[in-house]
Each structure stands twice: as C-alpha cells, then as structure tokens.
Structure 1
C-alpha cells in the first residue's frame, strides 16, 4: 500500500467513524423539529411546538432542574474530594495504595444497575439502624451521584500528576516553599487542564445517569433521564427528541466553554 493510498484509507476510515458518532445526534436534532404527530419519516413539516410542549410538562422541567443541581453538586464535590486524593495517590507511597486506587475507580466498572441497587440496600440498612431517611431523599441522591462522578476526577487528575515533573516541587521546597505553596503555586497551574476536564466529565456522568437515580429518587421528584423513560412508555412523538436536543446543547456548550479555558487534549 502506497503512502497516498494509505492516507486516503485513513481519511475515509476517520470520516466513517465521525459520521457514525455524529449522524445519530444529527437525526435526533432534525427530528425534534418534525411537525408529525407521531415520530416518523419523512417529515410533514417543521415546528417548534415540541420544545414548547416539553417545557410545559412539569416532569421535564423539574427533572431538568434536579439533574442540573445533582450534577453540579457531584462535579464540585468530586473536585473537593478527588483532587486531594489524587495528589496523595500520585505523590506518596504507602501500603495499600493500589487497593485504595481500585476502590475509588470501581464505580466506573461496576454496572450502573448493580451499583444503584447496592446503594439503595445500603441506604435502607442505614435507615433501619438510625431511623434517618436516606433513600428517596435529596442528600442520598446527591451522594450517589458524587460516587458516579468521583472516579473521573481520580482518573484524570492522577494521570496528570503522574506526568508532573517532580523536580519543580523539589526545587521549590529547597528554596523554602511550604507544601501548600508548592501545591497552589506550582502543581495546581500545571494540572489545571486535567481538573477542568475532570469537572466536565464528572458533570456529564452525573447528568446522564439513569440506573442509580432509578433507585434513589423520592416521591414527586424525578431526574430528566427518568422522565424521558417514563414518557416513552406511553408516547412516541418528537417531544423526546426536543428534550434530547436540549441535553445535547447543554453538553456541547459545556465542552465549548471548557475548551475555551483549557485544552482538553492536554488532560489525556
């Protein structure tokens, strides 16, 4: 295979992969404007009524707000816990470090439905022992989503810290800089892209979570993902496409804002 044909092959393969990823999203966005009463092809016309209908339904509006609140809590909480934990895992050697790392990353590999059921049973045990309601309450949902988000922060921040040049910290320490000064003035600026990427992926992981939320939402409270599933049980129109388009717009906006302040490619 010549160099020209090899380049052409890779370009075609890349275009096919990108098309495979982007095409379903484009179809969802396109179908959100269909005027058809039942979602079908070809479109009979175009309208914005489905967006108005989605916003007028309490389950979608309230679900969106709850999902945003939960994802924001999970993102901030994962940074507050994950960055110090990553620093300790990457910079210090202690007995059981690999075990701690595997435990912190376990939520990424455990199936969501299994994790949700385990958390629910754990919450029930807490309620039996303390008479404090956790399952079905907002704090229980927030903590579960923090568990979803934390592994992303641990993974990305630890990777950035492992690649950090330790001689910079040693030089600062030899000049009399304290540990806090070294972290905030030297380490933190270097790993900032990884921290921003961690916050983004933690937010998205929480925002799109369905399995754990199914077990933990309380009466009268539902996340956006659960509202979508409940609506699809009895309806098949472009309302869902409109809701999905809003989710795509939110995530795309976050990606653009994040890339404005940090190059995501530097975080991996």
Structure 2
C-alpha cells in the first residue's frame, strides 16, 4: 500500500515536471529560433543556414524606419505607462480600500479592454479623435497624446489586476496603525502602503510598457503619413523583403526586455509582485 502511494506520488511529480518542460519549451523555443535566425547569412529566411554573420544587425542602422519607429514606440509606451499608472493606482486603492457601491461592476468595466478586439478599440478611438479635432480644431491624431490615449486603454487591465492583487495582500491593520498614530489617509497611502506594493507598481509599469511598445492593431489607425511605430515598420518591411533583418529587430527587442527585467529584479524583487 505504501509502495503504491510512493509510486503514484512519483508519477504525479514526473507528470508535473513533464508539463512544466513542455510549457517552457513552447514559450522559449520561438524566442531562441528568432535569435538564431538573426545570425543567418542567407539573403532570404530559409533553412538550412548558409553561414552565420552579424551583417543584419549592422544593416539596422541603415534602415531609417526602424530607428524612428523605435523612438516613437518607446515615447508612446512611456507616456501610456505613466498615464495608466496615474489612472490605475487611485482606482486600485478605491476598489480595494474604499466602500464603492458596485465595485465588481467597476472592476469588470475597467478590465473590458481585454475582451474587446484591439482593432475595434483602434477604430473607435480613431473616430473619437477625428470628432474631437472637428469640434475643437486641435490636431491630436498622430501625436503622442493620441497614441497614448489609445494604448492606455490596453494597459489599464494589466496594471489594475497587478495592483489590486498586491493591495489585497497588504494587511489593513498596518494602515490602521498609521492612521491611529495621526497620519492622514494620503500620507498613509504614500508612506506606508505604496512602499509595500512597490514591486507590484514596477511590475505593472513593465507589463504596460511591453504591451504598448508591441501594439500594432491600435497604432495602425493612429499613424499619419510618414509616421511609423516599430511593429508597423516591421510589418511594412515584411511586405517587400523576407530577410533576417526582422529577426535582428526582434532579437534586439528580446534583449532589451530581458535586460530590463533582470536590472529591475536586481533592485526590486518582481517575484513578490506576482
């Protein structure tokens, strides 16, 4: 009987280890493949490789659309991340610490961009911005404000979910102790609660930045002639050429995100946020 239990436990562990290995393979294999392809010497992406070279990384500097696309994508992502945190931090406090009626309905409404196709969000936002321009005479389409207005809708659900989960894990008695000692609710939030959920804030910012930086569906509706974000620049490049240049672009993005995660985790333990 004991031997049967031990065998069953080992089988469960093996099955779990196998499932983890398969999941990691499915996640990491495309990333490894992209990095590998970026070093091919081939003029056209194909297997097997004719040799290996760094020429495609050097060619990126000659592709003006990738440089300007990266700059615009980074600027928009930073703006959308900042705006998203300004919205979701107070919202998370209100939803977890306040006594708002219909909190569940409000939370579901804020999470709704996850279930609405991004193309629908982009089309609706484009029409709204055009109407705003007609009514006010202020040009907003193609500006960082216009891009950020669309991208912040996509970042809110990710940021809000992380922040509410982190706030739910904070013992309310710590905040009650600060309040009982004479601290105002604002001081308590800034000096007591915020430091406790700081890993969650950083994680929310990283998620928001990555979601905005890699977005293409909403950006397609908002770009103006002569303007491009990095994902759109890659898409347009693929319409004419299929060479390892796009793999080099993707490999650099992977490296930047990995470096950001490692550096951030060095100073702020992201494991505490998820």
* TMscore range, shorter length: over 0.9
Q: 2:56 aligned with 1:68, yes or no?
A: no
CA distance in 1, matches of 2:235, 2:36: 21
| Residue segments in structure 2 that go unaligned for 5+ positions in a row | 1-6
SS in 2 for 1:56: coil
What is the CA RMSD across the aligned residues, in angstroms? 1.4
Contact 2:76 2:148 in 1 (8 A): yes
Higher mean C-alpha deviation, range 116-125 or range 100-109:
100-109
SS in 1 for 2:142: coil
Give the count of matched residue pairs.
268
Contact 2:121 2:150 in 1 (8 A): no
Name the counterpart of 2:140: 134
Higher mean C-alpha deviation, range 191-200 or range 250-259:
250-259
CA distance in 2, matches of 1:138, 1:261: 30
Q: 2:116 aligned with 1:110, yes or no?
A: yes
Q: 1:56-95 deviations in whole A, cap 9, x for unaligned?
A: 1111111011111111111122222221221112111123
- 1:106: Cα distance to partner? 1.7
SS in 2 for 1:135: coil
Name the counterpart of 1:207: 213
Higher mean C-alpha deviation, range 233-242 or range 105-114:
105-114
Name the counterpart of 1:222: 228
TM-score normalised by L of structure 1: 0.95
| Residue segments in structure 1 that go unaligned for 5+ positions in a row | none
CA distance in 2, matches of 1:125, 1:244: 36
Name the counterpart of 2:4: none
Q: 2:201 aligned with 1:195, yes or no?
A: yes
- 1:8: Cα distance to partner? 2.0
Higher mean C-alpha deviation, range 156-165 or range 5-14:
5-14
